[in-house]
Amino acid sequence: MKKHNFYAGPSRLSDFALKTTAEAIQDFAGTGISLLSISHRTPEFQDVMDSASELVKELLNVPEGYSVLFLQGGASLQFCMVPYNLLDKSATYINTGVWATSAINEGKCFGEIVELASSKDKNFSYIPRGWESQVDPATSYVHITSNNTIYGTQYKSDPNVPALLVSDMSSDLFSRPVDVSKYALIYAGAQKNVGAAGATVVIVRNDVLGKVNRCIPKILKYQTHIEQGSMYNTPPTLAVYTCLKTLERYRQLGGIEVMHQRANAKAQMLYDEIDRNKLFKGTAAIEDRSNMNICFVMNEEFKDKESLFNDFAQARNILGIKGHRSVGGFRASVYNAQREESVQALITAMQDFEKRHI
């Protein structure tokens, strides 16, 4: 029976990416060798790395002067690599949740961190506004987290700041148009919208590197990976290949604007039901609701039925909707590969549960 996968990550992959990756595990590029066993130094895998990098540039309209890297360590390692490579004396962070807080704490190892704005006062249920005009132009960079998986909030546009802009886009990269030229560096763990867990995409403007006066270990230096074409050390070959196939699928479907339209449509379907249904309510400010991670809880008079609904949904093969402990309730992650029929299955479950309890 078909499962409806709403896990926040690792998350659902497209059927195309799954099928082509599975085939490559058996026989990669006609070599007769498994993708899991092939040397990353072969021409066949070099083509995968080159093609994946070029496809990132194509889909996101990356300007000249930027490099695309496929690294390891997830966004968590980037919390360290960004300040290691870019932070001189101080940097500015906008705090919108758990992962932004983690990035802030790592940054403090390298210099002064200015937490310019935060939505902690309301349990990170909104995106702070009005802070752009307060940015000190002398700051090393400004760091934001574009989508907040735990709290279900999302930036709807690229900020304008008088300094280098860095963004953790782990959970919404490739789901919406991004003006890459506004950013000095973008990073994203692959396991939401880019591919399989194990790879991290980094898009970095070359001229922002080499400015800090500290010794940086080679493997933590962006310039090392640029010069070595993301092959300074053995890359996660399987994960990068799945990234390539995921990106190829986006191109087949019509590119990022199409993915954005699909994301809007799926999210709106579910938000409409949350707002209509007498049992449920959303947790994020309406203007900041995420298209990727839709968080909702039971209304107060029905709080005792949350575990019942979770069991009810699981009985219908709707998996991964239990909310993070910081928010409670439910979280439906509707990344690019999520099917509309799965969103509809969740909506139908919500409607049927309402009929039983109202």
Catalytic residue positions, numbered: 99, 168, 192
d(CA 74, CA 52): 17
- Give me the residue label for tokens 């705090």: 95
User: In angstroms, rounded to a whole number, what is the distance separating the alpha carbons of residues 236 and 234?
Assistant: 7
How far CA 163 is from CA of 14, 132, 137, 155, 183, in Å, comes to 37, 10, 5, 18, 9
Termini Cα distance of the chain: 29
What residue spans of the chain are helical by DSSP H? Answer: 15-26, 43-60, 74-86, 98-107, 222-227, 237-253, 256-276, 306-315, 340-357
How long is the chain? 358
- Tokens for 14, please give them: 């497209």
Would you state the structure tokens that stand for residue 132, as one six-digit string? 């752009």
DSSP codes of every residue in 295-357: EEEE-GGGGGGHHHHHHHHHHTTEES-BPPTTT-SEEEE--TT--HHHHHHHHHHHHHHHHHH
Single out the residue of 129, 49, 58 nearest to residue 94, CA to CA: 129
